[in-house]
Amino acid sequence: MPPPRPPRDDGAARDSARSRRLRESRVKKKALGLAVFLIVALSVLNAFFGDRGVLGLLEARSDYRALAREVEALHANNQRLGNEIRALRTDPLLIERRAREVLGMARPGDIALQIRTADEN
């Protein structure tokens, strides 16, 4: 019968390889966790501060409100001008008053006075 083999000292080598794999695995897990954290953090920052983020949305809403007020004012002005046009087409007294004020016209027999200011001399 062959003599029994002496116990091999492979345990230390196996433990060393196992601990190295464990360290590598831990480093990989930490790197993966850090990468996931950075991706999530950048996504959240982009959601808040990006062009289409929350701040961009708030700014767009503010712009929309300002433009809506401007459109409303323009509609009111358009309505006022439309009323004025209708009145100028149909109201002879308004036509006469505008002719006197804007064009400086007068009725026959009226005496028209022109007042000059110091700037016009």
pTM: 0.49
Please report the pLDDT score of residue 65 as a whole number: 98
Which residue in the block uniquely carries the two structure tokens 């590598």? 24
- Domain ranges within the chain, ordered by starting residue: 24-120
d(CA 32, CA 58): 35
pLDDT of res. 9: 55
Residues of the chain with pLDDT under 70: 1-13, 120-121
Q: Return the structure tokens found at 87.
A: 């009145």
Predicted confidence at residue 62, as pLDDT, reads 95
The reported pLDDT for the residue numbered 8 is 56
